[in-house]
Structure 1
Amino acid sequence: MAALVAFAAQAQDRADRQELTDPDSFTMILLGDPQGYTKYDINQPLFDLCTAWIADNVDHLNIKAVLCTGDLVEQNENIVLNRKMLNQTSREMWEAASHALARLDGKVPYIVSPGNHDYGYRKAENSRTCFPDYFPFERNPAWRDVCVATYPNRNGAISLENAAFAFDDPAWGGLLVVTTEFLPRDEVLDWAAALIDKPEYRDRKVIFMTHAFLHERSAKRIEKNSYELTPGNTGAEIWRKLIEPSPNIRMVVCGHTGKPGDYEDAVAYRVDKNRAGHDVHQMMFNVQILGGGWEGNGGDGWLRILEFLPDGRTIKVRTYSPLFGISSLTKHLAHRTGTCDRFDMVIE
């Protein structure tokens, strides 16, 4: 038994085991757009690796939730293969996403903000999406105790496209995560505003998630809707109609934008005051272009560890790759340490 324990400890060291900076912290894990993983069969194991790493660390890092910025697939409903950009049909991509996230079922709630590629045929030509078919509420028991509200999708069906999740923590006074469909409609924003203003949620700090909100690098809010067949609110409109007027929304998480280039072309971050004078931290994370561009390996396994410290106000952001961390030969590459990779957010 002693030899087995020693072997396990050595294996954890080789795999670059991550640690909390404070044993009383909890974490949430942020996954950027996974479409680059699911659209090629050779890339799909990298998505599996990310979720396997999360599942292995649920207790070790006290993971309360996994946040995903959407675009689970490259094309929602298509069987014609364009081998310059994918080698999987839509069904195969949805099945790959479902398989990867199934590792978390019964262990931790994962919260997805569906993206433009999750709708229509290729990218939001209509309001149809396979998301509710592959991710019904009943598949993950971890949703049952934390999902507190939903709102119908564009087809009038109840799904987790528009949903709210409550998390209790004495130090933080309770958190509420609200996720919304791609380009959320006015009625979705009205629902979110009314929900977070209810007496039971009014004093909670709210994390708002939607797929498209910020541009990469510049961190400017998206102003133009390039999807005429999907009317809804852009980042600038979401800010004006919901985020700025709401005193308890303290963080916005999104994905969507990016372009091949430096790491800074896959992320963005800005802080602005809302009308109540509180800082709102806005973070875009979409690493699908890392690891070889649009047709590369899908993102080199990069994810973010958000550590919520027991002071009830500080969130430590770390950017980590279990792909690099799994080997002693590459674990020195597993941590990004630039100013846009590793920073603290102070929630007032």
Structure 2
Amino acid sequence: MKIKLLLCLAFCLGELSGMAQKRADQQHLNNPNSFTMIVFGDPQGYTKYDINQPLYELSTCWIADNVKNLNIKAVLFTGDLIEQNEQIVMNRNMLNQTSKQMWEWSSHCLKRLDNKVPYIIAGGNHEYGYVRGDEGFTHYPEYYTAERNSKTSEHLVAAIPNRTGTMSLENSAWEFKEKNWGDLLVICSEFAPRDTVLAWAKNLCDSEKYKNHKVIFLTHSLLRETSAEYTDNENYKLTPHNWGKQIWEKLLYPCKNIRLAICGHTGHPAEVAGSDEDHAANNAYRCDKNSEGKTVHQMMFNIQCLGGGWEGNGGDGWLRLLEFMPDGKTIKASTYSALFGISPVTKHLAHRTDKCCQFDMVIEP
């Protein structure tokens, strides 16, 4: 009798293993010796409506599920994880969640990444003040702490206080060591960083310890969509501040080892939703020479208007994948939708090959 039960159990387990989920659109590296960093652009449209919130979690679940397959080393958030930092009265024309509900949902979604991969979050304007970032206080350090993700301690090497004097990951530096790329440093900043922050970042880049690192700078406001002009004179009451133009002049241009800058913040709905213009209106890219004559690649990626505009679904699950090739100099940028890719019916829509969505960047030594 026992033998029959064991045989039956073995058969059932075999049947269940044969029923394991088959990925609808499993992604793969172009080269097995590459590694990836994921850029997650402005998910505020996911958090502000409860009906959109599952798309945020789907995206972080997809990233967690592909950490090994795509050799993901970090997730870079361009800011605006929530729509309003401190509001209990809901403007139902543009959201149906309070600030606390938005902060808690975003934090919940990032739990999918905890202890799997480090995530680095640039503070966006909507993380500050009451509504849009006119004041300097924020709930950021209450939800994103150095302790919540074990992968943080493996890579976090520096941080300074935020605008209220609170120690926070808003202004932080993260080190990565890769066989083919050598030493990398990712520095992220608060929204409209103060001179103190830019000077701190520059001193890190110039220091004996990091002067030979390839540096990626992550901030919220740098480039305008489509035109790729620098943001400047933005209509916010927050002071002191630096916009894109000043960030270039004070940090990106004088630092010899910053090779890539990433931002979000700008973007607008396309005239025809779902058209090729949809992505073009929410992307920007430019290259400029720094003081040493080296190319600084600058990329803006924002998803909040994709999937129906300001009050749409929040972004259609779009992610920017940066594959660092084993030649130690080429980064292949591609754009993928976790939402479209999960279904065999829509997986043919999950990859964008527009010029603004798929391109190579060559990092100079």
Pair 340,150 (structure 1): closer, same or farther in 2 beyond 3 Å: same
**C-alpha distance in 2, partners of 1:309/1:167?**
15
Q: Which amino acid aligns with 1:11?
A: K
Tell me if structure 2 keeps the 8 A contact 1:39–1:87: yes
**C-alpha distance in 2, partners of 1:3/1:143?**
40
Q: Which amino acid aligns with 2:295?
A: D
Match of 2:47 in 1: 38
Larger radius of gyration: 2
Tell me if structure 2 keeps the 8 A contact 1:124–1:230: no
Match of 2:190 in 1: 181
Q: Unaligned regions of 5+ residues in structure 1, if any?
A: none
**C-alpha distance in 1, partners of 2:237/2:49?**
29
Match of 2:6 in 1: none
- Determine if the alignment matches structure 1 residue 129 to structure 2 residue 138: yes
Give % identity: 61
Normalised TM-score (structure 2): 0.93
Tell me if structure 1 keeps the 8 A contact 2:135–2:237: no
Q: Which amino acid aligns with 2:106?
A: A
**C-alpha distance in 1, partners of 2:62/2:176?**
22
Tell me if structure 1 keeps the 8 A contact 2:80–2:123: yes
Match of 1:62 in 2: 71
Match of 2:8 in 1: none
Pair 275,55 (structure 1): closer, same or farther in 2 beyond 3 Å: same
Deviations 1:19-56 (A, max 9, x none): 00000000001100010000000001000000000000
**C-alpha distance in 2, partners of 1:287/1:52?**
17
- Determine if the alignment matches structure 1 residue 159 to structure 2 residue 175: no
Deviations 1:227-256 (A, max 9, x none): 123321010000001100101000000000
Pair 127,7 (structure 1): closer, same or farther in 2 beyond 3 Å: same
- Determine if the alignment matches structure 1 residue 11 to structure 2 residue 27: no
**C-alpha distance in 2, partners of 1:4/1:307?**
35
Tell me if structure 1 keeps the 8 A contact 2:176–2:184: yes
SS of residue matched to 1:162 = strand
Cα deviation for residue 3 of structure 1 reads: 6.2
Match of 2:327 in 1: 311
Match of 2:120 in 1: 111
Q: Unaligned regions of 5+ residues in structure 2, if any?
A: 1-12, 271-277
Match of 1:330 in 2: 346
Match of 1:346 in 2: 362
**C-alpha distance in 1, partners of 2:134/2:216?**
29
**C-alpha distance in 2, partners of 1:7/1:166?**
41
- Which of 94, 107, 110 matches 2:103? 94
Q: Which amino acid aligns with 1:248?
A: N
Q: Which amino acid aligns with 1:171?
A: N
Normalised TM-score (structure 1): 0.97
**C-alpha distance in 2, partners of 1:247/1:335?**
34
Match of 1:241 in 2: 250
Q: How many residues align?
A: 345
Tell me if structure 2 keeps the 8 A contact 1:39–1:88: yes
